[in-house]
Chain A
Amino acid sequence: MRGFRFFLLLILVVASFAFGKERVVINSYMSDPAPRKALEELVKMFEQKYPEYKVVINTFAHEDFKVLLRTWLASPKGTADVVTWFAGERMRYFAEMGLIVPVEEVFAGSKWEDYFPASFKSTCSYKGKIYFIPQSWYWWGVYYRKSVFEKLGIKPPKTWDEFLQVCETLKKNGIVPIAIGTKFPWTAAGWFDILNLRINGLDFHISLTAGEVPYTDPRVVKVFDYWRVLVERDYFLPNHSSYEWQEAATFLFRGQAGMYYIGQFIKDVAPAEVKDDLDFFRFPIIDPSVPLYEETPIDGFMVPANAPNKKGAIAFLKFIASKEAQEKFAKDLGRLAANVHVAPPDEHARKGLNMVLESAGVTQFYDRDSNPEMAEVGMNGFVEFMHNPAKINDILRRLESERKRIYGK
Chain B
Amino acid sequence: MSAARGTALLEVRNLRISFGSLAAVRGADLTIYRGETHCVVGESGCGKSVTALAVMGLLARNGVREADRLAFDGQDLLRLSESQLSRLRGDRMAMIFQEPMTSLNPAYTVGSQMAEVYRRHRGGTRAEALDRAEDLLGKCRVTSPRMRLGQYPHQLSGGLRQRVMIAMALMCDPELLVADEPTTALDVTVQAQILRLLMDLQRDLGLALMLITHDLGVVARMAHRVSVMYAGEVVESAPAEQLFGDPTHPYTRGLLACVPVPGKVRRDQPLGAIPGVVPRIGHRFEGCAFRDRCGQARPDCARTVAWQANGEHGYRCVLPPDWTGPASLAA
Are A and B co-members of a single complex?
no
Chain B residues at the A interface, C-beta cutoff of 8 Å: none
